[in-house]
Amino acid sequence: MKPPAIPQRRASPVPTGRLSLMALGLGLLSLPAWLLGMAPEQVARAWAGLTAVAAGLAAYDLVRSMLALRRHPIRLRRRLPQVLSVGVAHRVELQIDNPGPRSWTGLLFDGLDPSFDSAQLPLPIQLPASGGAQAHYELLPRARGATILSPARLRLRSPWRLWELQCQVGDLQALRVFPNFAAVAGYAWLAGQHRLSEIGIKTSASRGAGTDFHSMADYRDGDPVRHIDWRASQRRGHPVVRRYQDERDQRVICLLDCGRRMRADEGDAGAQGNHSGAQSGAHPGSHFDHALNALILLAYVALKGGDEVGVRTFGHPPGQGRQLAPRKGQATLDGLLSALHDLQPGIEHSDYLDAARELMRQEKRRSLVIIATNCRDDDLPELLPALRLLRTRHLVLLASLRERALDAMIDMPLTSGMRAAEVAAAHSFRQARQDAMRRLASQHALLVDVEPQHLAAALVERYQAIKASHQL
């Protein structure tokens, strides 16, 4: 939806230091006259006359400047992408037009949302008469979601530099800040070069390990003898084997936890858990942001492999749930980004059993269900029944995020009694959580328990292992 236009507002004047110095100078002029013995009445009349002249000059400077801006308002146009990536610097180009006969100098402050960073503002500008100027700066989004750029603010100096006129120029501009999908592009390049190990992903599929027929090829040492096609070999006069690939047209459904635990933010700037994210300097933020980035990468890999991908959320604030039916094709990734880019975790409790029942009610076909969450030992009474219910039809992979701050607390020096109590509590909490993870692993073998920055690589690696082992 296009944001409403902002009407041209009247400029507001602010006195400059030069005007203050003029007033101070007038006051100091009366001092030597008084010291020379002039009558107080004469000094007062002289000071009043000089003050009236100075006030008239200041008023004249102000009025003609205000009239010039009112008759010939300055216009501003921005050029920047409508879709931005969090943690990635984007260039904003500005075109400032001055249709009036008077030149201006001043500063420009663009109307940035608090979630944006820019070290280059304010921008100094010089506008010639009946001309314009171009400027640019780097805009760095720090949070996902829908946002706007408000009208820019100009601080223009009057011709005699006695006033600064503050005015708004330009319009509201709606923007959408998406997750940093530079990770997806980096993965695509690495996958094309067979260098997945550079982002920590180990490939487990071996040549010819799939069951779907892919192509015919000449026999090479190491190829399974059972894959030799003897009829084709007889026609060609040399051994020919059938090549197979992992099964396609399978279904992957991601259950994304939007509950209160996913709001945890450990401040690990730049940790992406992948090659390209580390170079971009992006800050994924909360556990939810890490989980969302990991699911985007997994969706890209699964769609590239010919599988269907769908996403469902649970634990979200009322009325903010998202549900994307499983679909194939790379266009599905665009739909996923568009649907989830502004989703934020809430403060509600995540009901695992209700999410499992809803998924079982709507998804009848066997699928790989990936639950991205932050679970603890006190979640087992609800989580275990949910996993058992899902496993009656689906293959379930539980991906749980582990707090990095817990290990940091355990390693703290025991400098006081309070610190010792904190370290002991951290040990107890970690032991309870480890016991819960072991119990989950014993009953549900498909489990990923990693720190947030390692989730993306761990999920893709486990997905590829599942495809190679034909568990689905």
Residue range 133-147: average pLDDT?
A: 89
CB 298 within 8 A of CB 370: yes
Q: Do 452 and 344 belong together in one domain?
A: yes
State whether the Cα torsion 262-263-267-273 is positive or negative.
positive
Domains in the chain, number: 4
Residue range 136-156: average pLDDT?
A: 89
Residue 278 CA to residue 368 CA, distance in Å, equals: 29
Q: Do 140 and 227 belong together in one domain?
A: no
Given pLDDT bands bounded at 50, 70 and 90, which one contains residue 14? Answer: confident
Domain interval for residue 239: 212-245
Please report the pLDDT score of residue 98 as a whole number: 92
Residue 396, token pair as written in the block: 């379930």
Tell me which of 71, 101, 117 is where a domain ends. Answer: 71
Q: Do 389 and 263 belong together in one domain?
A: yes
Q: Do 160 and 300 belong together in one domain?
A: no
Residue range 111-116: average pLDDT?
A: 87
State whether the Cα torsion 422-424-425-429 is positive or negative.
positive
Q: Residue type for 465, please? A: A
The answer to the question of residue 1 being in a domain is: no
Tell me which of 134, 161, 178 is where a domain ends. Answer: 178
Q: What are the backbone dihedrals phi and psi of residue 418, each rounded to the nearest 5 degrees, phi first?
A: -65, -40
Tens of pLDDT, residue by residue over 37-58, are 566 666 566 666 667 777 778 8
Write out the DSSP string of 193-220. Answer: TT-GGGGT----PPTT-SSEEEEEEE--
Tell me which of 25, 44, 71 is where a domain ends. Answer: 71
Higher-scoring residue by pLDDT: 82, 452? 452
Q: Do 107 and 50 belong together in one domain?
A: no
Q: For residue 263, what is the DSSP state?
A: G
Q: Do 51 and 151 belong together in one domain?
A: no
Distances (CA, A) of 16 to 73, 161, 164, 252: 22, 7, 6, 64
Q: Is the pLDDT of residue 175 over 80?
A: yes
CB 262 within 8 A of CB 373: yes
Q: Do 374 and 296 belong together in one domain?
A: yes
Any idea what the CATH number is for the domain that residue 460 is in? 3.40.50.410
Q: Do 102 and 114 belong together in one domain?
A: yes
The answer to the question of residue 5 being in a domain is: no
| Of 274, 257, 203, 227, nearest in space to 400 by CA | 257
The answer to the question of residue 277 being in a domain is: yes
Q: 151 forms bridges with which residues in the sheet? A: none
The answer to the question of residue 8 being in a domain is: no
Please report the pLDDT score of residue 96 as a whole number: 93
Parallel, antiparallel, or unpaired: how do β-strands 368-373 and 251-257 relate? Answer: parallel
Q: Do 169 and 296 belong together in one domain?
A: no
